[in-house]
């Protein structure tokens, strides 16, 4: 069965510092991988996704993630944190089955705090 593990339920960084949010997955087939962000009292918004091709994926708001098959990881990074990045971040994996669409399996979430 597929699963997603996000290391660290809370991460705190200073404004301008590197953001690193960790995600590891298990899947028996090549996965599709996603990072979503949730701002307070809002729905989820896609940051970026990996489907096929280039393993370094760039997303919105300066975020990027690298798919490493050998490490079964899809860590999210941003070189310089902004106060506006404070939110909860979810890593998710999806497998493709005929006529079953994208059933997402989510990690537990990581809450990012940014200190001035």
Partner 1 sequence: NAGVTQTPKFQVLKTGQSMTLQCAQDMNHEYMSWYRQDPGMGLRLIHYSVGAGITDQGEVPNGYNVSRSTTEDFPLRLLSAAPSQTSVYFCASSYSKTSGSETQYFGPGTRLLVL
Can you give the binding site for partner 1, defined by CB under 8 A?
Answer: 4, 9, 32, 34, 36, 41-46, 49, 51-52, 90, 92, 94-109
Identify the CA nearest to 111 among candidates 91, 94, 93, 86: 86
Residue closer to partner 1 (CB basis): 17 or 49: 49
Min dist CB 17 to partner 1, Å, is 25
Of 18 and 46, the one with the shorter C-beta distance to partner 1 is: 46
Phi, psi of 88 (to 5 degrees): -105, 140
DSSP bridge pairs for 95: 103
CB of 56 to partner 1, least distance (A): 17
Cα radius of gyration rounded to whole Å, the chain: 14
- Which candidate, 32, 92, 89, places its Cα nearest to that of 60? 89
Nearest approach in angstroms of CB 62 to partner 1 is: 19
Residue 73 or 94 with smaller CB distance to partner 1:
94
């Amino acid at each position: 069965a597929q699963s997603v593990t996000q290391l660290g339920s809370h991460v705190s960084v200073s404004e301008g510092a590197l953001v690193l949010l960790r995600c590891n997955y298990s899947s028996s087939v090549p996965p599709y991988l996603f990072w979503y962000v949730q701002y307070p009292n809002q729905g989820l918004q896609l940051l970026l996704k990996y489907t096929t091709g280039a393993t370094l994926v760039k997303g919105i708001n300066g975020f990027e993630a690298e798919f490493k098959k050998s490490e079964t990881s899809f860590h999210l990074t941003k070189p310089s944190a902004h106060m506006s990045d404070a939110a909860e971040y979810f890593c998710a994996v999806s497998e493709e089955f005929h006529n079953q669409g994208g059933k997402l399996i989510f990690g537990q979430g990581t809450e990012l705090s940014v200190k001035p």
